[in-house]
Amino acid sequence: MLSSIDWENHRILHKNREKPRCTFLYRLNPCNGKWEYWPFLISLNGKWKFKWCRNFKVVPDGFYKIDYDDNTWFEIEVPSNWEIHGYGIPIYTDVKYPFSPNPPFIDKERNPAGLYRRHFTIPSSWDGKEIFLHFAGVRSAFYVYVNGICVGYSQDSCSPAEFRITDYVKIGNNTLAIEVYKWCDGSYLEDQDMWWMAGVYRDVFVYATPKLHLRDFFIKTDLDEKYQDAVLKIDMVLINYLRESSEDLCLEINVLDSENGAPVCDSILLDAGTIPPGEEKIVTIEKEIKNPLKWSSETPNLYSAEIKLFKRHNSQILESQKFNIGFRKVEIIDGQMLLNGKPIKIKGVNRHEFDPDKGYAITLDRMIQDVKLMKQYNINAVRTSHYPNDPKWYFLCDYYGLYVIDEANIEAHGMGNLLAEDPNWLEAHLDRITRMVERDKNHPSVIIWSLGNESGDGQNFVALSNWIHQRDKTRPVHYEPAGTQKYVDIVSFMYKSPKDLESFSEEIKDRPVFLCEYAHAMGNSVGNLKEYWDVIKKYKNLLGGCIWDWVDQGIRKKDKSGKEFWAYGGDFGDEPNDGNFCINGLLLPDRTPEPELSEVKKVYQYIEISPADKLGEFLITNNYSFINLNNFDCFFEIQENGLSIQRIRIGKINLEPGCSKKIQIPINEISFNENAEYHVKILFTLAKDTIWAERGYEIAWEQFSLFKKKKTFTPASAKGIELKEESERIFAGNQKMKIIFNKNSGFIESLKYMNRELLLKPLRMNFWRAPTDNDKGNKLPARAAIWRNIWEKAKVSKIKRVESDLGYKLVFEGFFKDIEKTNWELVYTISDEITVELKVNIDRHLPELPRIGIQGTFLGDFKYVSWYGRGPHENYCDRKTGAPVGLYRSTVEGMIHKYVRPQETGQRTDVRWFSISDDYGITVLVEGHPVIEFSVWPFELEDLEKANHVNELTYKNLVVVNIDHKQMGLGGDNSWGALPHPEYILFPGEYKYSFTIKVLRNFFENFQEG
């Protein structure tokens, strides 16, 4: 049964809407990087009158009429989502529909409407022209009224809707009204793991064209067998809006070099003949272009072109349109994807269009920020998950150089295969595919078409693929639910482990294998990214992947006290909701890079550096597909104990793509201290400014250990150390330092230096971490709950005292109450420093441990941190490839990352030593034997664990110090069950580590000497 209401009838997709076409209203000029707009265009962005209605029943009669009184209406900014302005609430769900699913019907009582009104002026210079309204994006369905008359209807939230309004407007003042519905039958195809928000969220224009108009064109480029010379083919659609035939029409096309504006070939002239009234005509040109510069993400060469439509007999120019051309060829040969004859790898991300203050109304500045960040972090591709993006995004990708997997606005995730198999829904699917392809077909950055996302598999998708292959033979088609079926050109998977990916690559040889989603970046995640790329680089048919996803979808909100936080599902009283499952980004909502992004940059880098046979000899491999390494400056840096002691410019290395060469670094000329540790870091920086980063920006690096210092032991002074024992405690120390041990727990419960207490809480065993989102997803908090607050379960069974020239040694042997077959030993060697050794033996039947370490709470005065280990950003055992060993300084607050949902944060690995210091010259120095992990927080573990948002995390006047042997990995294959890889899990067994604590005065005054 079909509804009489348009917005719940899947057979009614539009009324009076123009056919789709390519974007021609603006372009990004490749010559100067400036935007150029159609000369007969008026933006209708800005303030509109607005009224929100809870459903269609309360929409006021005649609100669209010219004389309707809207003085009581509020104003709203267009483009925007109305929920951002407080009208209704945003709802976040992953799969569940926010209404009771019964396609194509919508719960009419709960379907809000937004009414918009504004006036606009048609200038007299537009008299005699055709006039159109252009809506770049309206969610989800809307009616358009001009001067009190209904002009049309459209749905599909992410593709332009244009209406010819020539017969409805007049020169001078006109009234425009829009009636927008939050949900419609099309919403069943927009279940896209994002906030459900509504409104006019992209640009609105009114524009005019001549009566004889170049309505559309399709640019195709092909390359010869040597990938040198090109054939340019342009199919052009002319339309005649006149009431009589138009004769004697000609077209002239000029292709210009973007550097100097010079023609790259002779003008192309074409006779367009006669076009009957009200009809269209397709005319085609083909032209050979000798050896044009090719377009790729590495070399985004664009040419500027112009089409002129004119009358042959008098050379009168009727219309002129400018556009960009990128010469490139996409192929799949022997299961490998080639661009311009060269293999490429997709080093990509998935990107939702999202802004924390504007919802899905993305500004041009925000787009530029995104594309520059992607380039800076070695990302070369973006999947427009899960819908066509704002048209301006594609011009930026063309210009800056990003590959685009352009995805149709189709996701019926909550419906399974139902709509994919229903022939009655074919037109609804096909409408979205055709509008995407027709709009974006001329962008060289678009190298893959995606049929949509997670909408099941069925005959409708076979039909969609067939249509694309018939319309555009220059690009392959991807659709993950299709699996290995022949209607797709790329076999795609989601969230497969590196091991599984390797198996698939060996089974599937005829097509590229692609991870359209992988490395789920929810919260503190993206472990084992290197392991993925070790596999991807190994197999030719592995195309690469797109990390899920680019930016956390958190909405800026304030609590009752005025503190800001990032809101996620449920924070607006929205039901149903999926909580913080929208917080999966490599960036915070405001585009602050998260620590994972540094790992991505390192793993995605194109230059491979490895040690060769001789000392100081290194093999450099250029893994770019199109550029020589002479675009970069190469340096090497020698570090002694983490400090740079020498940095020398090697210069530019002339190395073609796919080639390797050895370089020699004069290691033998360096004088090494046998009591120091040395590293060499080889790095590459931009040799000149680019449009996305300045000269000197580091693009690739690798670090190698040269010499490790000899293991030496200098006994600390034990002079003056006294030991005293009471019933519950043991006292040890000298005039400077005094320590109290608890005989029941074995922990240090007091540490005084010069009679000043440094500890607020004991140095005690800690095997727990504030669960990450991945931990929650794999049920670690329940499975490993036995390790929570382990210090409360630690009981001493035996104490031994040993006295020697090196000081006193206290040995506490113990067990964990209510945990069978476990034991531990804490050994303290006391002199004018404290050496701590922890041994634990955990029975094999017990669950894995989140961490093994000792935690202490120090005075809040110790607000400065230094360390010699990996940094500067946080790093973990399975996410440390992008963190070089060095000497770093920070503050306690600077050591943590403020994840949208607070969780484990701030770890540093491979740490030789770290210190915390105060303003009075007192430093607590901790040295690993040989290395440890550590973190410091200005709050306590229980605070971190119970907070749901950053505003709930209270910073206290204390410093929590975690001195860890190890912490388990983060994982990231997915966030709903996958564990970290086995090599990064702390399985039950025997563990042992040690470190030394020293309390020093004026440590940093002699920092260089020390």
Catalytic residue positions, numbered = 454, 517
Closest to 761 measured CA to CA, from 789, 723, 795? 789
Contact 152, 162 (CB under 8 A): no
What is residue 37's three-state secondary structure? strand
Instruction: Report residue 938: phi and psi, to 5°.
Output: -95, 25
Closest to 215 measured CA to CA, from 156, 281, 170, 271? 281
What is residue 371's three-state secondary structure? helix
Report the C-alpha gap between 244 and 276 in whole angstroms: 7
What is residue 763's three-state secondary structure? strand
Strands (E), 361-520: 381-383, 403-407, 411-412, 446-450, 477-478, 491-494, 513-518
Q: Give me the helices (H) in 104-145, please.
A: none
CA–CA–CA angle 535, 880, 567 (5° rounding):
100
Report the C-alpha gap between 250 and 91 in whole angstroms: 53
Q: Using the Cα atoms of residue 932, residue 934, residue 940 and residue 946 in order, give the sign of their dihedral.
A: negative
Closest to 684 measured CA to CA, from 634, 736, 624, 745? 634
Task: Measure Cα distances from 544 to 396, 491, 860 in Å.
Answer: 22, 12, 47
CB burial of 266-294 (b: ≥16 within 10 Å; e: otherwise) equals eebebebeebeeeeebebebebebeebeb
Strands (E), 408-484: 411-412, 446-450, 477-478
Burial (CB count <10 Å: 0-12, 13-18, 19+), residue 262:
exposed
Count of beta carbons in the 10 Å neighbourhood of residue 707: 15
Q: Regarding beta strands 336-339 and 342-343, do their DSSP bridges make them parallel or antiparallel, or are they unpaired?
A: antiparallel
What is the edge-to-edge ordering of all strands in the sheet holding 14-15? Answer: 14-15, 149-155, 141-146, 172-181, 113-122, 46-53, 74-78
CA–CA–CA angle 790, 792, 793 (5° rounding):
70
Question: What is the DSSP secondary structure assignment for residue 527, as one 8-state letter?
Answer: T
Give 147's contacts (C-beta < 8 A, 6+ positions apart): 66, 168, 169, 170, 174, 175
Count of beta carbons in the 10 Å neighbourhood of residue 547: 29
Count of beta carbons in the 10 Å neighbourhood of residue 1003: 18
Report the C-alpha gap between 69 and 56 in whole angstroms: 19
Number of H helices, E strands in the chain: 11, 63
Q: How far is Cα of residue 993 from the mean position of the Cα atoms in its chain?
A: 37
- Cis check: omega of the bond before 576, within 30 degrees of 0: yes
Enter the tokens of residue 462: 């076979």
Give 708's contacts (C-beta < 8 A, 6+ positions apart): 677
Contact 931, 875 (CB under 8 A): no
Enter the tokens of residue 175: 């009234």
Report the C-alpha gap between 595 and 896 in whole angstroms: 10
Closest to 766 measured CA to CA, from 713, 838, 835? 838
Report the C-alpha gap between 383 and 405 in whole angstroms: 5
Count of beta carbons in the 10 Å neighbourhood of residue 47: 10
Report the C-alpha gap between 455 and 415 in whole angstroms: 7
